[in-house]
Structure 1
Amino acid sequence: MAAKPDRTCRHRPGGRHRPAAPRAGALLVALLLIGSGPGWAQAPEPVTVSTTPIERFDAGGAMRFGPLEFRGGLVLSSPSPQFGGLSGLLVDADGVGFLAVTDKGWWLTGRIVSEGDTPVGIAEARMAPMKAAKGATLAALGRGDVESLARVPGGVLVGIEQVQEVWRFDGAEPLTATGRKLIADPALSRLGGNQGPEALLAPPRGVPAAVIVIAEESPDDPNILPGFLFDPLAAPKPKGRFTLTRTDEFSATDAAVADDDTVYLLERRFDLLRGVAMRLRRFPLAALQPGAAIEGEVILTANRLAAIDNMEGLALHRNAAGELILTLISDDNFSPLQRTLLLRFAVVE
């Protein structure tokens, strides 16, 4: 929390207290009010994250689902009022350190404690509001609905829904970094309020584009998911657009590219009749070309009978055996009726 101003009156020994000049005093009060207000970025603070293990992914106890094997999961909870709404995720190459964003404009970082590939706890968790120039928070600027996250050389990118923008945060410590707007494209701005940049890709070699955005839905066509290519990274220019086939009312929520240049796409569906469902698809990174129409391979579909919630974050890493590990996280919408879940699968085909 922001430090409270010291209002203790100090007197000179043997003399009278002399109040500050009215203008200086008013300026000081104004600065203190700004600095302690909700729109002013706070320093990172430790948070406690409690966990409960998820031992079975589905009611039947199966561990293998096509090319995927369930390696375990956790239900996450915290007394912090800022915890929740997790909508984007990155994990380090060793699968331990992680960085997540919330859809209220906060960072969450920490360590995933594991036994083998099975997550058993969260340690050293910290949270901080995402900030822009002059210390203002993204939320105070109307840009708190952060939905996606990608790592780039020297920093990270985040996709912001409602305003349909991509921002960049430079440096090794995002929790203290100052962001700047990187992409605000007219084609992106045509997306509906809740149809924005749900997935970001930044291929390490910049091929087929430096920045790739996948929208949650299309404002015009219910049968596609719109994709946008931008190149280069330093001063992004539109390179073209592509589409992903949309079926069974699934919407994009995140994507990640593996070191073998395969893209994994996380999707979600929700309606009152069928409840929540999630799906994973994959396709070659090279397929993301201007004008392309991509269907991909469905590798997992799960409904409300499985240990899922509103799954919105996806990250990839390799374990010591060389297997590709998928880490998924859910957005509980800050609702007591939903849960924050962390799930892990291995690609074992």
Structure 2
Amino acid sequence: MLRRVAAALVVFFVAGSVVLMGAGQRAEPGNTLAIQAVPTVLDPTNPDRRDMGPLRFLAGWTLNSGDPDFGGISAIARVDDGFVAIGDAGGIFRFALDERGQISRADIGEVPAGPIPPNGGAVQKRDRDAEAMAFDPETGRFWVAFERANGLWRYDRDFTGSDANHAPDAMDDWPNNGGAEAVVRFDDGRFLVFSEAGNGPGSSREVLLFASDPSDADVGAPIRLGYHPPAEHRITDAALLPDGQLLVLNRDFSVVRGVSVIISLVDISQLDSGTILTGDEIARLVPPLTVDNMEAIAIEEVDGRTIVWIASDDNFNPLQRTLLMQFEWTGG
């Protein structure tokens, strides 16, 4: 995730950048829902721009809320006609957009169970640093991966409770701030878990392939692979396309280069031990395009079209935005 230190540096070094909230981005008068959405464009310097490689921009919003618990979105899922998003302080955000692109319902809550401090004491927000999520539409189950704890928790459809959790031995040496950053569930029950900074083969970042549910304590040892993100970037999330290829979000931030998000297309047809996955860059979000700390991606099929949703983590920083952007996949 983009650490709080980097977020603080934005205040001093990126003033005037498109990551900053623009004038007029406020909730509609009289809107009392927990979350509000304000439309935004892909390119403020060319509002008619739509194409970004094989992604065609359909719509975008800045999400706002008066609730201080809203923010830090690190993963998102399309569920029925709405969204479920998790935040890196343990928040759960449920909302839906109507045909006009306005929020029609919204709810802000907390994960009902998760990691606890290793030495006891009260649970702090840092103990619920959720960074990745997978969803199974058939069972309605969610899986959430937590950094620091280096484990996965399984929840029911309504997040009323967790019935399984496990910290796999293979994830034990992943860094506190560089652990599980993306979780992908296959229809056959396998899981891919990507580390943001854990060491993999050939200077890659480690990826684990579990043959079954990694939140179960009796899950077998995973196959160890690697992922090479684009230069200077780190993985922040990943989602499967209908053809089985993987779209991966990769993000870089520095006070010199600013914010850069690369979307890569990754072939995962070979998942043998020691394989190092690489991707082809298919799109790049950099200023003046609308961009922030993009950490969440979800894909759905609608009437034969493949829709890609991307959301950002605002780091609970008032100078950053929670963006939600909708694209159509036009690639082969």
TM range (shorter): 0.7 to 0.9
Identical-residue share of aligned pairs (%): 27
Q: Which residue of 2 aligns with 1:65?
A: 52
Match runs of 1:202-241 below 5 Å = 202-206=185-189, 210-219=190-199, 223-233=203-213, 234=216, 235-241=218-224
Q: Which residue of 2 aligns with 1:76?
A: 63
Match runs of 1:29-108 below 5 Å = 48-57=34-43, 59-61=45-47, 62-92=49-79, 96-108=81-93
1:216: how far off? Answer: 1.2
Q: How many residue pairs were aligned? A: 290
Is 1:326–2:308 an aligned residue pair?
yes
Query: Structure 1 77/237 Cα, relative in aligned 2: closer, same or farther at 3 Å?
Result: same
State the distance in 2 between where 1:203 and 1:221 align.
Answer: 23
Q: Is the 8 A contact 2:35 2:95 kept in 1?
A: no
State the distance in 1 between where 2:271 and 2:290 align.
Answer: 31
Gaps of 5+ in 1: 1-45
Is 1:256–2:242 an aligned residue pair?
no
1:243: how far off? Answer: 1.0
State the distance in 2 between where 1:144 and 1:232 align.
Answer: 24
Bigger Cα displacement from structure 2, 328-337 vs 145-154: 145-154
State the distance in 1 between where 2:122 and 2:221 align.
Answer: 25
Match runs of 1:182-331 below 5 Å = 182=166, 184-206=167-189, 210-219=190-199, 223-233=203-213, 234=216, 235-320=218-303, 322-331=304-313
State the distance in 1 between where 2:102 and 2:237 align.
Answer: 23
Q: Which residue of 1 aligns with 2:324?
A: 342
State the distance in 2 between where 1:211 and 1:347 align.
Answer: 24
1:132: how far off? Answer: 2.2
Q: Can you list the C-alpha shifts for 1:183-238, whole angstroms capped at 9, x where unaligned? A: x12331211111111100110113xxx22101112357895222011122253222
State the distance in 2 between where 1:73 and 1:161 align.
Answer: 29
**TM-score, length basis structure 1:** 0.77
Q: CA RMSD in A?
A: 2.5
- Residue 183 of structure 2 aligns with an amino acid whose one-letter code is L
Query: Structure 1 300/138 Cα, relative in aligned 2: closer, same or farther at 3 Å?
Result: farther
Query: Structure 1 57/239 Cα, relative in aligned 2: closer, same or farther at 3 Å?
Result: same
Match runs of 1:147-166 below 5 Å = 147-152=131-136, 153-166=139-152
Is 1:178–2:162 an aligned residue pair?
yes
Aligned residue for 2:269, secondary structure, equals helix
State the distance in 2 between where 1:331 and 1:205 align.
Answer: 30
Q: Which residue of 2 aligns with 1:131?
A: 112
Higher RCO, 1 or 2 (CA under 8 Å, sep at least 6)? 2
Q: Can you list the C-alpha shifts for 1:261-317, whole angstroms capped at 9, x where unaligned? A: 121111110000011111111223323332211212211112132101000010001
Aligned residue for 1:187, secondary structure, equals helix
Q: Which residue of 1 aligns with 2:25?
A: none
Query: Structure 1 142/49 Cα, relative in aligned 2: closer, same or farther at 3 Å?
Result: closer
Is 1:146–2:130 an aligned residue pair?
yes
Query: Structure 1 142/222 Cα, relative in aligned 2: closer, same or farther at 3 Å?
Result: farther
Aligned residue for 1:212, secondary structure, equals strand
State the distance in 2 between where 1:229 and 1:56 align.
Answer: 35
Aligned residue for 2:288, secondary structure, equals coil
Bigger Cα displacement from structure 2, 135-144 vs 231-240: 135-144
State the distance in 2 between where 1:276 and 1:141 align.
Answer: 26
**TM-score, length basis structure 2:** 0.80
- Residue 124 of structure 1 aligns with an amino acid whose one-letter code is R
Aligned residue for 1:82, secondary structure, equals coil
Q: Is the 8 A contact 2:229 2:279 kept in 1?
A: no
